[in-house]
Amino acid sequence: MERRLAAILAADMVGYSRLMAEDELDELAADIKTNGLQQPIVLADFADEESGEIVTMLVDGRNRLEACKRAKVKPKTVEHASNQEPTAFVPSANIHRRHLNSGQRAMATAMMYPKKGRDQTPTQLEFHPEYLRQARTVLEQSEADAQRVLAGTFALPDAYKEAKTKCAIDGYSPKKL
């Protein structure tokens, strides 16, 4: 049976795994060429719902894979543990890898899980749950401000105050999220 490679792009919606800038990818490629790939690329096999064929998905390591191609180094790969849903693994792996502050982590989580509820909220948060409530309020009021929080150019508490002010001006209060 033929295998093909696909990527899980859920994290791209919130910018976890955007491709690095060209110069950053070149730096990573040079480092991999000199020192080898330090973190393996994570893959998972799934049955395609339509064709039934086995599809190998790139779960984590898109930048490393591109850097390996540039460095002409065969990438090390590992199979994703089947006991964890890949779409839960991606944000978890990337939130902890990136240098994000608590507000940025909360906003990234709010973007992945915009609704409150047992099925819509990760069970383990690496920040105070109040931050997630604030991030959801900001996201509901202003996608632009949410993106600024995620980028680290607007602090979550300041964005939340602005969202609350906008709600007061518009004559309604933020939904209880």
Give the pLDDT score at 117: 61
Structure tokens at 34: 């000199």
Give the pLDDT score at 20: 77
What is the DSSP pairing of strand 77-79 with strand 54-60?
Answer: unpaired
Nearest to 150 by CA among 14, 19, 20, 24: 14
Give the pLDDT score at 171: 64
- pLDDT tens-digit profile, the chain (177 residues): 444 555 444 444 345 555 678 998 999 999 999 999 998 998 888 777 788 888 788 888 888 999 999 999 999 999 887 666 766 676 667 666 667 788 988 888 888 777 776 555 666 666 788 999 999 999 999 999 998 898 889 999 999 999 998 877 766 655 543
Query: Which class in CATH covers the domain with range 1-83?
Result: alpha beta
What distance in Å separates the CA atoms of residue 29 and residue 5, rounded to the nearest whole number? 21
What distance in Å separates the CA atoms of residue 45 and residue 100, rounded to the nearest whole number? 30
Nearest to 85 by CA among 25, 128, 44, 115: 44
pTM for this model (two decimals): 0.54
Give the pLDDT score at 129: 85
8 A C-beta contact, residue 96 and residue 79? no
Give the pLDDT score at 157: 95
Give the pLDDT score at 32: 95
Nearest to 105 by CA among 118, 92, 116: 92
Give the pLDDT score at 136: 92
Give the pLDDT score at 60: 82
8 A C-beta contact, residue 147 and residue 104? no
Query: What b/e string do you get for 17-56 counting C-beta neighbours within 10 Å, with b at 16 or more?
Result: beebeeeebeebbeebeeeebeeebbbbeeeeeeeeeebe
Give the pLDDT score at 138: 95
Give the pLDDT score at 12: 42
Domain boundaries, the chain: 1-83, 99-170
